[in-house]
Structure 1
Amino acid sequence: MDLPSVREVVDARCALPWQTGDAWLAGGTALFAEPRPEVMRLRDLTAMEWPAWEIMDDGLVIAATCTVAELLAFAQAPAGPWPQARALIAACCRAFSSSFKVWNTATVGGNLCVALPAGPMISMAVALDGVCRVLAVNGRERRVPATGFVTGVGRTVLLPGEVLRSVTLPVSALAKRTAVGRVSLRPGGRSAALVTGTYAPETGRLGLAVTAATIRPVTVDFSHPPSSAALRATLHEMLDRDLIVDDVHGHPQWRRHMVTYLADGVRHDLTRE
């Protein structure tokens, strides 16, 4: 879709003050998906030329401008570190209800910042204890846990003039066992519920994250694997009616049921020997 209100596209490296009508541009698949008459100037992040991903001493750093295709290629590489974590990353990449053409353009950062419930990069970042690095045009920098980055449908903690620079997935999370459960109303459709899980056998700690069915990520951690009944009881208590998404992609009651069903399956997959 055209954005006829846009009057200027500038290099994001330019130290221009943030002004009303500015918007960040990376892949643009969400930005150009609907009319945005309020946008008058685009700040092009592709000029930053950030590496798509980097393996560092403290974990995996994924640039906000990394495309879904680039991340999936890393996750599917035949020889690479953290095979369990890469399997979860690949599953989240495949959860996009879009064509490979979009995968080659849509970015990890864009998916997080658009903050749709079904955003699979949100699921990935939350599941693997991601930390979001946020930069401001005035040079200020802060770090935000991925669990708190998305605050509601289309809402994040980003302030005017701030941009998501990268997401760091720590080694401690990348080394865990992982499992993913997902459901949609039709094959290849938008996720109606997506549950990710991680498990550290040496400590017994098990973590679950619920996305797609909820307006923001919901996480729960257990010091040891819970029983099926205990897990269901915990989720029913946490999944308040106001948290459940209500749209054409799934009735709230069905979504709530599917979350508990998927979570129990993830629990079983993670803890069986």
Structure 2
Amino acid sequence: MDLHTVAEVISPAAPGMWRPGDAWLGGGTALFGEPRPSISRLLDLPSAGWPALTVRDGGVEIAATCTVATLFARLKEHEIVGQCCHSFLASFKIWNVATVGGNLCAALPAGPMISLGAGLGGVCTLLSGAGERQVPVADFVTGDGQTVLRKGELLRSIFLPAGALTARTAFRRGSLHRYGRSAVLLIGLLESDGGLRLTVTAATRRPWVFRFDGVPSASELKETLAAIPFDAYTDDVHGQPAWRQHVTGHYAEEIRTELSA
């Protein structure tokens, strides 16, 4: 879709350049997906030349401008990465343009990069003219289309801990249709201390993360999931809240059973 109100593109762009009417441009697959009459200028981030992936002590830093195709090619040996990438259900054309950061910033419940980052305990680095700050991916998205980003702030990268990338995981994804958008997506992860991390996404407007000291009993798991308010479940053409709530419980039990084996 044409953004007919855009009069200027700044390339490359950097923190501190933002002004009212601006929008940060990554791959643009979400940005150009609907009318945005309030935008008059685009700040181009890919031209900044950030390395797509950087191995650091204790994990991997993924640039917000890293494309889905690059992420999959570089980290496909980690099964959970491939599972989340394929949850886009998008063609190779989208994979080669859509960015990891763009998927997080769009903050759609079905965003699979949100699922990956929250499920693996990832941490976002946010930049602005005033400096930088770190926010867990699980806390970055606050609602459908809503994030903690402040005016002028941008998402620079997502750090994934090495321990989480190599941990044993269980993945469940559900949709009303075979090739439909994710309506429920759960990730279970066995932590090094024997604890279990269960992340609920897609079914809810924001990620919900639960941690257990060990693999919980079926009753403990059910009681814990009851902490998600009914009105926190997404309600749209891809699934009603009651159905999403039921499937969430079903998949959570499957994950519990799988990881306890």
Q: Secondary structure at the match of 1:117?
A: coil
The answer to whether the aligner puts 1:153 opposite 2:144 as a matched pair is yes
Amino acid across the alignment from 1:253: A
1:260 Cα deviation from its structure 2 partner: 0.7
The answer to whether the aligner puts 1:121 opposite 2:110 as a matched pair is no
TM-score by length of 2: 0.96
1:269 Cα deviation from its structure 2 partner: 1.7
Distance 2:41 2:14 in 1: 13
1:229 Cα deviation from its structure 2 partner: 2.2
2:36 is matched with 36
Asked if 2 retains the 8 angstrom alpha-carbon contact of 1:134 and 1:164, the reply is yes
TM-score by length of 1: 0.92
1:113 Cα deviation from its structure 2 partner: 0.4
1:152 Cα deviation from its structure 2 partner: 0.4
Asked if 2 retains the 8 angstrom alpha-carbon contact of 1:61 and 1:166, the reply is yes
1:55 is matched with 55
2:236 is matched with 247
1:139 Cα deviation from its structure 2 partner: 4.6
1:182 Cα deviation from its structure 2 partner: 0.4
Report percent identity of matched pairs.
Answer: 51
The size of the alignment, in residue pairs, is: 261
2:213 is matched with 223
Distance 1:181 1:111 in 2: 20
The answer to whether the aligner puts 1:197 opposite 2:202 as a matched pair is no
1:15 Cα deviation from its structure 2 partner: 6.7
1:19 Cα deviation from its structure 2 partner: 1.4
2:6 is matched with 6
1:209 is matched with 199
CA RMSD across the alignment: 1.3
Distance 1:14 1:144 in 2: 20
Amino acid across the alignment from 1:261: H
1:14 Cα deviation from its structure 2 partner: 5.3
The answer to whether the aligner puts 1:266 opposite 2:258 as a matched pair is no
Correspondence list, 1:135-146, <5 A:
135-136=127-128, 138-146=129-137
Q: 1:105 aligns with which of 92, 97, 102?
A: 97
Asked if 1 retains the 8 angstrom alpha-carbon contact of 2:215 and 2:259, the reply is no
Distance 2:103 2:14 in 1: 24
Amino acid across the alignment from 2:176: L
Question: Residue 55 and residue 30 in structure 1: after superposition, are their counterparts in 2 closer, same or farther (change >3 A)?
Answer: same
Which stretch shifts more, 253-262 or 50-59? 50-59
Distance 2:14 2:49 in 1: 14
Which stretch shifts more, 239-248 or 170-179? 170-179
Amino acid across the alignment from 2:5: S
Distance 1:59 1:16 in 2: 28
Gaps of 5+ in 1: 78-85
Q: Deviations over 1:42-83 (max 9, x none)?
A: 000011111111221120111100011111112325xxxxxx
Distance 2:106 2:23 in 1: 12
